[in-house]
Amino acid sequence: MMTWGESHGEALGVVVDGCPAGIELSAADIQHELDRRRPGMSEIASERREADEVLILSGVFEGKTLGSPISMLVWNRDVDSTPYEEIKHIARPGQADYSYQMKYGLRDYRGGGRASGRETLARVAAGAIARKVLAYHNIEIVGHVVEIGGIRARARARARARAKRVELKEIKRNAEMNAVRCADPEAAVQMQELIKRAKREGDSVGGIVEVIATGVPPGLGEPVFDKLDAELAKALMSIGAVKGVEIGVGFGAARMRGSEMNDEFYIDTEDGRIRTRTNNAGGILGGISTGEPVICRVAVKPTPSIAKPQRSVDMARMEEVELRIRGRHDPCICPRIVPVAEAMVALVLIDYMMIMRGGRLETMRQK
Amino acid sequence: MMTWGESHGEALGVVVDGCPAGIELSAADIQHELDRRRPGMSEIASERREADEVLILSGVFEGKTLGSPISMLVWNRDVDSTPYEEIKHIARPGQADYSYQMKYGLRDYRGGGRASGRETLARVAAGAIARKVLAYHNIEIVGHVVEIGGIRARARARARARAKRVELKEIKRNAEMNAVRCADPEAAVQMQELIKRAKREGDSVGGIVEVIATGVPPGLGEPVFDKLDAELAKALMSIGAVKGVEIGVGFGAARMRGSEMNDEFYIDTEDGRIRTRTNNAGGILGGISTGEPVICRVAVKPTPSIAKPQRSVDMARMEEVELRIRGRHDPCICPRIVPVAEAMVALVLIDYMMIMRGGRLETMRQK
Amino acid sequence: MMTWGESHGEALGVVVDGCPAGIELSAADIQHELDRRRPGMSEIASERREADEVLILSGVFEGKTLGSPISMLVWNRDVDSTPYEEIKHIARPGQADYSYQMKYGLRDYRGGGRASGRETLARVAAGAIARKVLAYHNIEIVGHVVEIGGIRARARARARARAKRVELKEIKRNAEMNAVRCADPEAAVQMQELIKRAKREGDSVGGIVEVIATGVPPGLGEPVFDKLDAELAKALMSIGAVKGVEIGVGFGAARMRGSEMNDEFYIDTEDGRIRTRTNNAGGILGGISTGEPVICRVAVKPTPSIAKPQRSVDMARMEEVELRIRGRHDPCICPRIVPVAEAMVALVLIDYMMIMRGGRLETMRQK
Amino acid sequence: MMTWGESHGEALGVVVDGCPAGIELSAADIQHELDRRRPGMSEIASERREADEVLILSGVFEGKTLGSPISMLVWNRDVDSTPYEEIKHIARPGQADYSYQMKYGLRDYRGGGRASGRETLARVAAGAIARKVLAYHNIEIVGHVVEIGGIRARARARARARAKRVELKEIKRNAEMNAVRCADPEAAVQMQELIKRAKREGDSVGGIVEVIATGVPPGLGEPVFDKLDAELAKALMSIGAVKGVEIGVGFGAARMRGSEMNDEFYIDTEDGRIRTRTNNAGGILGGISTGEPVICRVAVKPTPSIAKPQRSVDMARMEEVELRIRGRHDPCICPRIVPVAEAMVALVLIDYMMIMRGGRLETMRQK
């Protein structure tokens, strides 16, 4: 997968290579996920309204994938670069202006350029294809918001130590019913209030997004460097606003005893398979999937673009200035991170489903 | 870099490719770091005593690196596989027995085989070389324990939002003075007590390790997938016991306002460089280093091998059993994770120092 | 670099990642090379006439590269898929129909689909960028036809054992003056006659294309698997019609004595540099460039699409059939392979210019 | 796969990652192939006599592969570095001394250091494992010498356009019966005479080695850059002495008409499969295997180390000198290239057998 495009450039896109041939795929399949990523709610979200209509330019023939690279493109419309002109030399705090300028010596300052969150639509488009293929293998991925600005969803609305599929359906259904994508309806209301308040104050809030993958077969992951959890960590940390990644109980493990943390094995009487009674490990042991649900969470920082005045530096004139950011910005990016994080998990899993290195001989690709 | 070897096999080793030519390198340079990884303290650590003497078999000529692959090897001695014979078909909770068995269909059950923590000595050996090269660029890496079993080092003994080099030296010196590698001497005493207690109870504890890299030049990191924080997350999560990774304030960002989180820029009057007053970002913006110290932390789970009886499954006979693990095991792995995490950070940074893609033209490799 | 697109699909394109920032780049720079690849001559070439107008959709801002991925696109127009409808189940001899069908289970049969030579325009577009960057380093790449259907250009019009820059300019100028891109004007006339004759007979001819790169600094190439000659061989062999690759004297080496083959070193009195008197090695020793011109040649097979009737198999009905191919096809692809082969050489060289692994410490990327 | 080691260093070795678990493997399996690579014949080969005994240090447990990296090592014994001391600053013509010195700034001059042909034993060791796995899939690889110093094996002793398995067995048996590994006994005698004569004259000769792989399933190869022929070209060109690679008729294609070159398809009445009557393509169309035998040939240059005096340059004193090379050197390296080329073909094929990208959905890895 390769993504390309700047926020206010001609277009954004992604090329997906390695998709199996023969998968039914239409622009509508992609569009559905893109629409979930789009800002929607007037009060708690950015007001930029883009159709974000995806075009499939290659790799699909008569409704089916060809096995050759799938190129997808979204034109950039509804672009107003005016607010960026006046601050084009200023390093916005919490943004990539300064580091890009240092690395590249120049940058497209309009709308964040390449470092814009808008880049994630290419990830979501690619992830939509991955999810279609994973669905052939009964792997399902559900993301939702579990915490915003300190308000936490109740345990029932989080992936618990031993996630069951039925609960996941409930989490998914509940999370998609509100603007913050939180499966706990009461917490969702509070979160929305908090976001509105932050917006009124010219400020923003962060939170935590959880992603659960069910149906993952045991055996995915390539020790010792390309472990499943390692690749998930990389994929999720590569999302712009993410500052932390954890698997299973994650940082909670630091405060647990071994006797609490260890998930005991038992034999499931229904299907005779070995399972664990708890799932503190988040479905991964030794970097390889166990067959239990894979659970990960990411820490999302508060949107750096805030209306409040901030101190910064004009990089061209090399002098300190006061910065006031105009334009349309989400006061909380968490709900929109949900489909992006889901996409990244899907992209990691699909990669392991298609590469077999060092596994059992009998699972080697048949001629 | 490629590592190889099973815990109770003939030997373990690593091949490091891409090291610049002309670096002075001796076995002693490597040995120093390996010795830091070794279990040392009778009461709070595993009792396996290995010389772990490293041999350099290639890539060094007349005391200098050749630019060709450096092969290093440590023979496995002091190996007693007896305790593993009787439990060889049992999936130890929290270990990779089950997932390896599912993936490969067979495994070397002795001492954890390939999934053993002993594999990390190869990482430390490779990291020692990386650190030598980084030192040429004035990049220094310091790791230490900031939390064990809920006991936290005081703020002074943690990398603070704006880490200064002088504090780092202090952290390093203090951390290496006690068995738990905690820079807060009082917390260190409490941590050791806690570990001893856990050991007496046949249990184990987890914790948090922090790694700080100073002197990192701005501009390292390759958006949008191979960002510096993404590669750090992958490298650190690939360490066996790690369940979470965070950069800068990490999960703390989820509870912060944008106005708190954003690090304001200013011009340093000493050297005229643009810097940030705080370092909540952990030295990385948009996936690219800013020049501020790079700060990351990992959540380390409690050692899964505990003396307490546990329920599990015999995978050969497919029946549930009670498991009692014998043998020598660290009740807390955190102090030994310190040099491993340092090594992984070093290996990520050295990689970026040597690859230039998409940066300024003038920094392209000179002929 | 990632290319995408089917011959008769919506569009073809390429995404180029890793281009240094700050390079002046316009669509016109790319277009010039694309135009060289286009079929031009009524009698000796295919009659498909495409504008092949390239669009740059990202990675360039205010006329300069940003260091972020450059996405380029060419819409497919003037497409007539009718001739392919009637033979869509037939495996055309010498084409990829059968192997694609076996691998993917389906294929876009129109115009060769993904296996079409039209895919090479994406390579040429990417190569045009690489050549711009190489020009900053005084590296120049010249390709030309040295043999068609047994007719060979005279020695003067081939890269000789010790190529001098002045001769290269002459080769380049002469080669671009005729439709077959042969630097020997007399041979060029004969080649054109031969091609016309083959066309009249409903047949096609093959040939040999040579590419020379001058100004390549010593030290490019990464032993032992990613040697410069190895990567050149891969890049050139990946061009559809190529069946052989050779470096320097190539297969001629099989008939030489060591005393003939070895290029003796001497000290150039002009600049005091060590050089070789001959260049049988083609500028590469031990997989690393020596500073002498890099010389490679590719064997180009005769165009498989010929008007003459051929025996083949209908893959749907599984019966043998007689095939008559209609449509517009080059009777000799060699002249159009020239810019493609040049592009592939440029793409290999640029990659080595930007990656430094295992070389001298002092050439490591400056902070 | 990663290889390491200098010719006169401590040892040479290779780490093979990604080998499927459960393959029976012993040192004897590897040793057999290493012995084929060893110099054997007193008159036509180098006189260095090494046991080259391979040790397997990891990745194998109770006689079966574990799926984890297999580390193999051969100690360097019978090493006499004396002849290299006196010429350590001299750039030997046709060798990598100069290019290594330019790239790395220093080198291990003893026995060619990293650039020595001795490095290929690591390739052969890795290839031996690949061949074991390929044998599970009924893929067999046969290499032999088809030309030395202009003397060519008769057509019967070369892979013909339509290679049949029975002929391959004959080629293999005949080739292994003489010191030059030529399947034509009469040509073999002449070749040996020629080599002896060259040796007496202090000179050396080159030749051509052919490798045939049968049983390769259709569908291997990843367009458009990682085509099967492209990867074969890279792998084979990475062998030190190789200056050219061709597939099928190779450079012969340049002199053929399309109507001759195209392999017509037919339906094999025995098994109902689609096959080609001829195999000019060498088993690869569009970069994907067709199921016909894969045929490739490499041009091997004459050994550069010759006894005859040569002109060269002392790189330390920067003056021209006359060089007389002492020591033990093969006057013709072709017979020893045979197992190396076989190994490289095996390593390419095994890679494709284990990676499935973009192929049919139903061949995706089963859970």
Half-sphere exposure in the Cβ direction for A9 (13 Å, CA): 35
pTM: 0.96
Is A69's CB within 8 Å of C4's CB?
Answer: yes
Question: What pLDDT score does A303 carry?
Answer: 97
Cβ <8 Å between C259 and D291:
no
Chain D residues within an 8 Å CB radius of B108 = 61, 66
Report chain C residues whose CB lies below 8 A from the CB of B363: 365-366
Give the DSSP H or E segment for D43: none
Mean pLDDT of chain C: 91
> Is residue B161 exposed (0-12), middle (13-18) or buried (19+ Cβ within 10 Å)?
middle
Work out the minimum CA distance from D69 to partner chain C, whole angstroms.
Answer: 19
**D68 — contact with chain A (CB < 8 Å)?**
yes
Interchain proximity B357–C23, CB inside 8 Å:
no
Q: What pLDDT is attached to residue B128?
A: 97
What average pLDDT does this structure show over B334-360?
87
The span from the CA of A317 to the CA of A328, in Å, is 27
Query: Is the Cβ of B26 closer than 8 Å to some Cβ of chain D?
Result: no
- For Cα atoms A310, A307, A76, give the angle at the middle one, nearest 5 degrees: 115
Torsion of CA C243, C245, C250, C255, to 10 degrees: -20
pLDDT in tens, D158-179: 988 676 777 888 999 999 999 9
| Partners of residue A141 on adjacent β-strands | A213
- Beta-carbon contacts of A282 under 8 Å, excluding residues fewer than 6 positions away, are A229, A247, A248, A249, A250, A292, A293, A294, A295, A296, B243
| CB contacts, 8 Å: A61 with chain D | none
User: Is residue D286 less than 8 Å (CB to CB) from chain A?
Assistant: no
Q: Give the closest of D15, D61, D107 to B4, CB-based.
A: D15
Q: Identify the DSSP state of B160.
A: -
* D354 in contact with A, Cβ within 8 Å: yes
Q: Is A17 on the interface with C (CB under 8 A)?
A: yes
- Rg (chain A; Cα; Å): 21
Give the integer Cα–Cα distance in Å for B169 and B185.
Answer: 15
Give me the helices (H) in C244-333, please. 258-261
Q: Quick count: other Cβ atoms within 10 Å of Cβ A322?
A: 9
Nearest by CB to D6, from B55, B58, B106: name it.
Answer: B58
Residue D364 has pLDDT above 70, yes or no: no
Chain B contact for A257 (CB, 8 A cutoff): yes
Q: Which residues of A touch B305 (CB under 8 A)?
A: 258
Q: Reduced to 3 states, what is the DSSP secondary structure of residue D240?
A: coil
* Interval A179-229: pLDDT, tens: 999 999 999 999 999 999 999 999 999 999 999 999 999 999 999 999 999
Cβ within 8 Å of residue B46, ≥6 positions away: B39, B328, B329, B330
Subunit contact A64:C15, Cβ cutoff 8 A: no
* Nearest CB to D365 within list A67, A353, A361: A353
What is the spatial distance between Cα C69 and Cα A5, in angstroms, rounded to a whole number? 7
How far is A278 from C83, CA to CA, in rounded Å? 62
The pLDDT value given to residue A160: 79
Per-residue pLDDT tens listing for chain A (367 residues): 999 999 999 999 999 998 989 999 999 999 999 999 876 544 565 545 557 899 999 999 999 999 999 999 999 987 888 889 999 999 999 999 999 999 999 999 999 999 999 999 999 999 999 999 999 889 999 999 999 999 999 988 898 767 677 788 899 999 999 999 999 999 999 999 999 999 999 999 999 999 999 999 999 999 999 999 999 999 999 999 999 999 999 999 999 999 999 999 999 999 999 999 999 999 999 999 999 999 999 999 999 999 999 999 999 999 999 999 987 789 999 999 999 999 999 999 999 888 655 566 554 433 3
Q: Which of C17, C217, C354 lies nearest to residue B356, judging by beta carbons?
A: C354
Chain-chain contact of A313 with B225 (C-beta, under 8 angstroms): no
The answer to whether D297 touches D208, Cβ cutoff 8 Å, is: yes
Of C225, B83, B260, D142, the C-alpha closest to A301 is B260
Q: A271-328 pLDDT, tens per residue?
A: 999 999 999 999 999 999 999 999 999 999 999 999 999 999 999 999 999 999 987 7
Within an 8 Å CB–CB cutoff, is residue A310 touching chain B?
yes
Shortest alpha-carbon distance between residue D183 and chain C (Å): 18
For chain D, say whether A286 makes contact (Cβ under 8 Å). no
Q: CB distance B359–C67 less than 8 Å?
A: yes
Q: What is the pLDDT of residue D366?
A: 36
Percent of chain B with pLDDT over 70: 92
D10-61 tens-digit pLDDT: 999 999 998 989 999 999 999 999 999 876 544 565 545 557 899 999 999 9
Type of residue found at C234: K
Q: Which residues of C touch D318 (CB under 8 A)?
A: 267, 272, 274
How confident is the model at residue B328, as a pLDDT? 74
Per the CB < 8 Å rule, is A204 touching B306?
A: no
- CA of D13: which chain B residue's CA is closest? B71
**Strand pairing category for A60-61 and A310-314:** unpaired
A107 in reach of chain C (CB within 8 A): yes
Residue D49 amino acid letter? R
Residues A292 and A274: their CA atoms lie apart, in Å, by 10
pLDDT for res A357: 53
Burial of C90: CB neighbours in 10 Å, binned 0-12, 13-18, 19+: buried
Interface of A with D in 126-155 (CB under 8 A): 133, 136-137
**Measured between CB atoms, does C67 come within 8 Å of chain B?**
yes
pLDDT band of residue C364 (cuts 50, 70, 90) is very low
Cα B276 → chain centroid: 27
